[in-house]
Structure 1
Amino acid sequence: MSSYGIPTKRLLSVFKWMLLFALLAMVQVLLACESCRTDGNRAFYYFLYAFSLFSSLWLGNGYLSNNLDRWVSWKEAPLKRFLVTLLAVFVYSSVIILLVNWTWYVLLPQRDINYLATPVARWTMVTQMVVTLIITMTIHAVAFLNSWRESAVSAERLKREHALSRYEALKNQVNPHFLFNSLNALTGLVHEEPDLAVKFIKQLSGVYRYVLDSQQKEVVPLEEELQFARQYVFLQQIRHGAGLQVELPASVPPGWQVPPLALQTVLENAVKHNRAWDKEPLRVTVTLEGDYLKVENNLQPKAQHEPPSSLGLANIQARYEVLTDKKMTIQKTDSAFTVRLPLLSFHPAT
């Protein structure tokens, strides 16, 4: 679409533009020709001159702009497009201004060609060229800014759509992994301790209710995530007994939020990769540390046939990258493994 908004082939569109050029020509007659107010023939003559000048300059530069868009794009090469546009407009407008003035001031009144070299004619044509260049480049500048804004909005929209689709894919990786671990735990209880298995099923039901409820959410309140973590820890402690000791904060300030299942994934990572025996208990401590949730466990790694994949923690990191610039940190020493989860606040915390 031309930045000039040149008329389409429809009759109504052409009529509207012809009417606009006629109005501009009438204004030009009233402002620049005092004798036209009393001389009707001169007014009509000057009107036709102004009408032909306006219409040929506007429409010609408009169609020229359309053709330039096919060869040089404002988005891809703005400086090159600016220079090409400036040159094309200057050449075309110079030819049109010279041709129109020659037609109306030399050919029709049958004057000598040297009339165009007089100071009055030269000043008139120079003024017309300067005004044309100012108007034309202003229109192109506005078109460039609009195009740049549309590109920026489109790029931001595509970026967010990509981030959301990526986030959904990341969330969908959590559920199957958690489900398999939970079912494995339940399998060991069904025959040995039926009553405890019933309690386990009830807790597992509450856990999965939370999983399903939070599946469509990008973040959840920290209080809800901690309550879910307590249920998850209960399920794990049934498996490991005194070998797993987890300390969670009794309460937290309202307003903080985290990605759903983020804390559970860190706890699961600790249980998965460390021994949790009665004589060598795995101790996990969850505390608030400024605007981070600190999860620390003593390091007593299991014998691994293969190196750990760390997919769970990488998943959390990727989800945080979608939501915030704050970085999740992982620190490993000879005796401890520490993960700090950024706490998010989209509303002022109280």
Structure 2
Amino acid sequence: MSHFAVPRLQLKSILRWILIFSGLALVNVLLQCASCLTDRSWVVHNFGYAFVLCSSLWLGNGYLGNALNQVVSWVDHPVRRFGVTSLATTLYSAVAIFLVNWTYFIGVRGHAPALLLTPGLRSTMLTQMLVTFFITLSLHAVSFLRHWRQSAIDTERLKKEHALSQYEALKNQVNPHFLFNSLNALTSLVHPQPDLAVKFIKQLSEVYRYVLDSQHKEVVPLEEELHFTRRYVFLQQIRHAEGLDVQFPASFPAGFHLPPLALQMLLENAIKHNRLWAKEPLRISISIAQSWLIVENNRQPKPQHEPPSGLGLANIQARYQMLTHRKPEIVSTDATFTVRLPLLSFQEQESPETT
């Protein structure tokens, strides 16, 4: 965000600023003019002097201030930015005022260099310096307020996105279709396999207990998420039998976290969009490499299904955005679909909302 108005590289913008600087120079001439009609040479010289001085100070400080936006932020380091800006503006303005006055009085008017040391001209240059400083200080104050306002807007936008993310996560967690399908599977087990039906009910209750316990948490330990996912997979394998093959890691590192139900959403996404046949099973591999949790499945899209909504992956990405600068990675090929979830350490997820 720039805070000085400066010309764009367009003819219309350049001409508009030439008119603005010409108007300021003309005002300066009229304020000092004692005999404008009789001394046209004085008018031309002073107009040119005022035009060059005004444009060099405005444009120079403008581009300098905009460049400093890329180096020191008003929002992140306001005190440092004020100091750097004040120093840079003062140095540039002093050099520009000296060079313009030297060029005009010594080069154009032909005066001796000693003229620059006279009290009258030194007072003029000091006045020019003070006026420039206060104008640029006002513009920098406007810049700070704009950056502060934009920061407040961005913070509010992130809060709204976080609230929407939590709402979407809750909708995905308590999936009525999953509950409906689970009850159907349970019905088919009650009479022929009562022992398995009892185990199914216990696993289903543990799944929904985890959902209720974790829905208000920002992150959960990796171990808890893997244990929950095993129960979820057990319920799905009762429904799909040999059509679903899920491989879990033999071991996993301690001290890592991830958003709750993120892993379950990936499995649910794979099951939703692929065939699960005994002759063509859906194979899902869950592995850990360094600080990444990798979920990969073979692609065998269902012949007819609705276009993917992308809500599950968008939900996961939105929650990661609130927790860390690291982003999930998605790699899709004709044969496989892979999602890499960053595993969060305690330092990464430490924040007022997660501690």
Q: Kindly state the Cα deviation for residue 185 of structure 1 after the two structures are TM-superposed.
A: 1.7
Q: Kindly state the Cα deviation for residue 263 of structure 1 after the two structures are TM-superposed.
A: 1.0
> What is the one-letter code of the residue matched to 2:240?
H
SS of 1:255's equivalent? Answer: coil
Tell me the percent identity: 46
Tell me, in whole angstroms, the C-alpha distance in 2 between the residues paired with 1:259 and 1:326.
12
Could you say which residue in structure 1 is the equivalent of 2:330? Answer: 329
> What is the one-letter code of the residue matched to 2:5?
L
Does the 8 Å CA contact 2:243/2:281 hold for their aligned counterparts?
yes
SS of 1:303's equivalent? Answer: coil
Could you say which residue in structure 2 is the equivalent of 1:185? Answer: 182
Tell me, in whole angstroms, the C-alpha distance in 2 between the residues paired with 1:153 and 1:313.
27
Between 1:200-209 and 1:307-316, the stretch displaced more is 307-316
Matched, 1:79 2:5: yes
Does the 8 Å CA contact 1:242/1:277 hold for their aligned counterparts?
yes
Change (3 A) 1:346 1:163: farther
For structure 1, the residue ranges without an aligned partner over 5 or more in a row are 1-74, 96-119
Does the 8 Å CA contact 2:326/2:342 hold for their aligned counterparts?
no
Tell me, in whole angstroms, the C-alpha distance in 2 between the residues paired with 1:278 and 1:130.
85
Q: Deviations over 1:11-46 (max 9, x none)?
A: xxxxxxxxxxxxxxxxxxxxxxxxxxxxxxxxxxxx
Change (3 A) 1:133 1:277: closer
Tell me, in whole angstroms, the C-alpha distance in 2 between the residues paired with 1:145 and 1:202.
61
> What is the one-letter code of the residue matched to 1:78?
F
> What is the one-letter code of the residue matched to 2:153?
A
Tell me, in whole angstroms, the C-alpha distance in 1 between the residues paired with 2:119 and 2:273.
90
Tell me, in whole angstroms, the C-alpha distance in 1 between the residues paired with 2:348 and 2:119.
69
Change (3 A) 1:310 1:78: closer
Tell me, in whole angstroms, the C-alpha distance in 2 between the residues paired with 1:150 and 1:307.
42
Matched, 1:291 2:286: no
SS of 1:79's equivalent? Answer: coil
Could you say which residue in structure 2 is the equivalent of 1:172? Answer: 170
Tell me, in whole angstroms, the C-alpha distance in 1 between the residues paired with 2:129 and 2:302.
81
Change (3 A) 1:136 1:280: closer
Does the 8 Å CA contact 2:331/2:338 hold for their aligned counterparts?
yes
Tell me, in whole angstroms, the C-alpha distance in 1 between the residues paired with 2:283 and 2:119.
95
Which residues in structure 2 correspond to 1:76-155 (within 5 Å)? Answer: 78-79=4-5, 126=124, 129=127, 133=131, 136-137=134-135, 139-141=137-139, 143-155=141-153
TM-score between the two structures when normalised by the length of structure 2: 0.55
Tell me, in whole angstroms, the C-alpha distance in 1 between the residues paired with 2:340 and 2:122.
74
For structure 2, the residue ranges without an aligned partner over 5 or more in a row are 7-19, 33-117, 350-355
Between 1:163-172 and 1:303-312, the stretch displaced more is 303-312
Does the 8 Å CA contact 1:223/1:251 hold for their aligned counterparts?
no
SS of 2:131's equivalent? Answer: helix
User: Considering only aligned residues, what root-mean-square deviation do their CA atoms show, in Å?
Assistant: 4.0
Q: Deviations over 1:211-262 (max 9, x none)?
A: 2222223332222211111111111122223432221113311233322211
Tell me, in whole angstroms, the C-alpha distance in 1 between the residues paired with 2:280 and 2:119.
102
State the aligned residue count.
Answer: 246
Q: Kindly state the Cα deviation for residue 189 of structure 1 after the two structures are TM-superposed.
A: 1.7
Structure 1 residue runs of 4 or more that deviate by more than 6 Å after TM superposition: 120-125
Could you say which residue in structure 1 is the equivalent of 2:265? Answer: 265
Structure number with bigger Rg: 1
Q: Deviations over 1:146-193 (max 9, x none)?
A: 42442243233223223323322331331243x421332223323444
SS of 2:275's equivalent? Answer: coil
> What is the one-letter code of the residue matched to 1:188?
A
Change (3 A) 1:189 1:123: closer
TM-score between the two structures when normalised by the length of structure 1: 0.56
Could you say which residue in structure 2 is the equivalent of 1:216? Answer: 216
Does the 8 Å CA contact 1:245/1:281 hold for their aligned counterparts?
yes
